[in-house]
A and B are shown apart, each in its own frame.
Chain A
Amino acid sequence: MKNNLILYIGILILGIAAPFIFPAFKVQLSILCVLIVLATTWNIQGGEMGYNSFGNILFYGLGMYLCASVQVGMFFPLAEWTESGGEKTFVHTPAQFFQGMAVGLIVAAVVPTIVAGLIGYSILGLRGHYFAICTLGLGVAAGEISGGIEIIGAGQGFTTPPFPDVGSLDSRGEFFYFLSFFVLVLTFVTVRSIYTTRFKLILNAIRDNEDKAEAMGIETMKYKIIGWMISAFFCGLAGGIMGGLVGYIDSTDVAFDGREMGVFMVLMAILGGKGTLWGPIIGATVFHIFKEGFWTFFLGWQYVALGVLIVVIVIYFPEGIMGWLREKYPERFGEVVDEKDRKAQVELK
C-alpha cells in the first residue's frame, strides 16, 4: 500500500511536470490523456464485463458536438456561427470562452450518460457478437445523422471557438493538457475505486457466466447499464476536450470517428491487457508512442507498420502486456506459485 502511494504521487508529479519537461509535445500529451481515458473506460465493458462495445465512440462524438454547441450557443446564435456563408464574425472573450467550456463539458458528460442509459436499456440484452455488431452500427449511424443536421454545421463541419488571447502562445497547449490530465485523474480515481467494490465482481460474474450470475439473483441488466453509463460519462468529457483541442469537428472524421478512435480504444485496451486496471493505461501509452513514431519515421507506410504491430500484439501478446507480465512474474501480482508444481507442469509440456 505504501509503495502504491509513492507510485501514485510519482505519476501525479510526472503528469504535472510533463508539459514543462516536453514543452513541444503538449498536444501529443493531451491526446495521450484522452486516449487513456477512452481505453480505461472501454475496459469497463470490454475487459471487466466481457461486452465488446464499438459504440463508445457515440458518446465521445456526442460529447464533442455538445460541448462545442453549448460553448457557442451560450453567447451567440449557433445557426449563424455554423452557417457557411455567414457574414458575421463572432469572437469569444476569455471569460465567455472558459465559462462556455465549463458548462459545455458538464453537458457533454451528462447527456451521453443519459443516452447510454436509454440505449443500454434497449440493446444490452444482446450478447456476444450481436452486441458488438449492434454497437458498431450506432457509431456509423450517428456519424451519418449528424452529417445532416444543419445547426451543427452538417457536412460543412463545425469550427469550435478559437482559444482566446490570454497569456503566452503556450497557454492554449497548457490549458488543454491540464484539462485532459485532470479528466484522466478523475477517470482513474473513479474506476479504481469502483474496482475495489462488489460492482467489479458483478461485472466479472457477468463476463464469466451471465446466466449463472442471474441465477444467483444479480440483476445483471441494471449493472450492465450502470457500467455503460459510467463509460459514457467519461467518453463524453474526453470528446468535449478533444473538440476544443482539434478546433474543427467533422461528423465522420473527427467526432464519430469509429474507423480510427473507435477501433483504437479497443486496440489499446487489448494491447495493455484487458480486464486490468493498469493494462489500458500502459496500452494507450505504448500505442500512442508507437503511432507517433511510425507517423514520423515511416511516412507513407505508417498504416502498414501499425498493421504489423497489431499482428505482433495478437500473436505474441494475446493477453496484452499486463497479461504477459503476469504470466512471467506471477509473484508480483500477488499470486502464490508452487515452484515444484510449476516445474512439473513445464516438464509435462
Chain B
Amino acid sequence: MRLNKIILSFVSALVILFSTSVASFAKVVGDKIILGAAISLTGKYSSNGVHTQNGYNMAVDRINSMGGVKVGGKTYKFDIIYYDDESNPKRAAQLAERLISQDGVEFMLGPYSSGLTKAIAPVTEKYGVPMVEANGASRSLFTKGYKYLFAVLAPANLYLDVAIDLAVEKNNGKGVTVAMAFEQDAFSQDVRLGVLDAIKRTGSKKVIDDKLPKELNDMAATLVKVKQMKPDVLVVSGHTKGALTAIRQISEMKVDVPMLAMTHCDAAKLSKQHGKNSQYALCASQWHKTLTYKDDFFKDGMTYDADFTKEFGYAPPYQAAESSAALLVFKDAFERANSFDQKKVRDALAATNMQTFYGNIKFAPGGQNVDKPMVLFQVMCDDAGKCENKVVAPTKWASAKLIHPIPSWSKR
C-alpha cells in the first residue's frame, strides 16, 4: 500500500515537473520581448558570468525605463530568461536547446567565454535564432559561416598583438624575445595565435610557450623559466584566474620582466585586489571608460562607469560594458526591422552601423565587430598606493604614457 502511494506521488511529481517546464514563455508576450541567455553563474567563469549578467540587466532596466523598444507603433519592454550553464559547454548547448524548443525563445543573448559560445552557436544557427553575443571573441567563431551570430567585440587574436608591436617599437624596431603562457581554452589559445602572428610579423622570437591548466592557480614553473631566460615580454592569458595567479606569483617570486602583457585585468579587479603588486601590468581591453564614444542611453563611458558602480558596487569591467552594448544592438535592430520576424531581425542586425558608449558597432559577414579597435591600458599607482588603469595605446585614446621598461622589484 505504501509503495503504491510512493509511486503515485512520484508520478504526480513528474507530471507537475513536465507540465510546468513546458509552460511556454514564448518570444513576445503582451508587451514583453523575451530574450534567452545561458550564463555562467557557477563554475570557473562565474565571476565573469556575473559581470555579463549585470551588464545585461543594467541595459534592460535602462532601455525599459527610457521608453522601451518601439515596433509596429507599439512599445515593448525587454525581459531575459537566465539559466546557469556552470561554465560547461555541454550544459550550455543543452540550455540553448531548452531555451529555444521548450521556452520558445526566439532571440538569444550570448554566454560568457568563447568556448561556451562555440557550443551554443550551432544550436541557434540550426533554429535560425539571432544571437547577439558580447563575450565570445575566438576567431574560429567567425569562420564557420554562421549567419545568426553577431559579436559586438573585436576578435581574440587582436587582444595582445599590439603589445608585441609596442615592445618592438620601444626596442627601436628590432625584434624582441617573448615568453608566453596561455590557458588551454578557446579564448586564450586564440589570443596566443594573435601573438604568434605578431612575433612572426615583427621578426621577434618566442623563448617560452607554456600551456596552463584550466583550473589555473599555479604557474610557478613558467615563472622560474622566465627568471632564467629573461625575455623582453611576458604574455599571460587565462581569464580572471590567470590574471590573478600571474600577478600573485610574479610579485611573490619577484620576477623581473621589462614588459608584462595580460588579459582580464579589469575583470579580476587587479588594481584593487593586488594594489601596487599589479603596477605596470599592461592589459588588453575591449573598452575603457575614458573612450569618447556616446549614445542616448548611457551617454558615455564615464557616466556608464558611475551608474554601474552605483548600482552594483564595483567599477564595470569591459565584460559588463560589452554585454550592455549587446542589448542596445538588439533594440536598434528590432526598431529598424520593425518586426519580430527572425529573418528580418537577422537582416537588420547584419546591417547594424551604430555608435554606443562602448564603441562603434558594425558587423563583418562572419559576425565579428570590425569597427572597434582594442585598447591597451597600464595599471599605474600613485605614491599613496592608489592604482588606476590608464589607456596607453592606441595613441588616439591614450591618457598616459607607457612606462617601459618595468622597474625591477629591487628598485620598487
User: Could you list which residues of chain A lie within 8 angstroms of chain B, going by C-beta atoms?
Assistant: 22-28, 31, 83-89, 91, 144, 147-148, 154-157, 159-160, 162-163, 169, 172-173, 242, 245-248, 250-254, 257, 260, 289, 292-293, 295-296, 299-300, 302-303, 328-329
Contact = CB atoms under 8 A, between A and B. Distances in A.
Contacts of B213: 144
Contact of A84 (B22, B140, B182): B140
A260 B90 CA distance: 11
Contacts of A329: 3
A24 B102 contact: yes
A28 to B, nearest CB: 8
A293 B102 CA distance: 14
Contacts of B127: 169
Contact of B119 (A27, A163, A248): A248
A169 B126 contact: yes
Interface string B96-127: 01100110000000000001001100110111
Interface string B309-334: 00000000000000000000000000
B94 A31 contact: yes
B157 A85 contact: yes
Nearest to A143: B214
A310 to B, nearest CB: 17
Contact of A157 (B82, B118, B145): B118
Contacts of A253: 87-90, 115, 214
Contacts of B122: 159-160, 162, 247-248
Contact of B184 (A23, A91, A155, A247): A155
B84 interface: yes
A28 B102 CA distance: 11
A155 B89 CA distance: 13
B21 interface: yes
B360 interface: no
A77 to B, nearest CB: 14
Contact of B145 (A89, A160, A299): A89
Given A84-B193, A254-B89, A300-B41, A148 B139 contact: no
Contact of A155 (B102, B139, B145, B189): B189
A26 B127 CA distance: 14
B294 to A, nearest CB: 34
B168 interface: no
Nearest to B117: A248
B151 to A, nearest CB: 15
B143 interface: yes
A247 B119 contact: yes
A84 B140 CA distance: 5
B186 interface: yes
Given A148-B211, A300-B42, 13 more contacts: A27-B94, A84-B186, A144-B213, A155-B211, A157-B185, A162-B126, A246-B94, A247-B122, A250-B186, A253-B88, A253-B115, A299-B82, A300-B41
Nearest to A259: B88
Contact of A289 (B14, B182, B184): B14
A328 to B, nearest CB: 7
A346 to B, nearest CB: 17
Nearest to B138: A84
Closest 6 CB pairs of A and B: A155-B184, A247-B122, A248-B119, A89-B145, A84-B140, A155-B189
B125 A162 contact: yes
Given A86-B143, A89-B144, A247-B123, A302 B84 contact: yes
B189 A156 contact: yes
A303 B18 CA distance: 21
B93 A84 contact: no
24 contacts: A84-B138, A84-B140, A85-B157, A85-B193, A89-B144, A155-B183, A155-B188, A157-B185, A157-B186, A159-B118, A163-B126, A169-B126, A173-B97, A173-B101, A245-B93, A246-B93, A250-B119, A250-B185, A250-B186, A253-B87, A254-B88, A292-B17, A292-B21, A296-B21
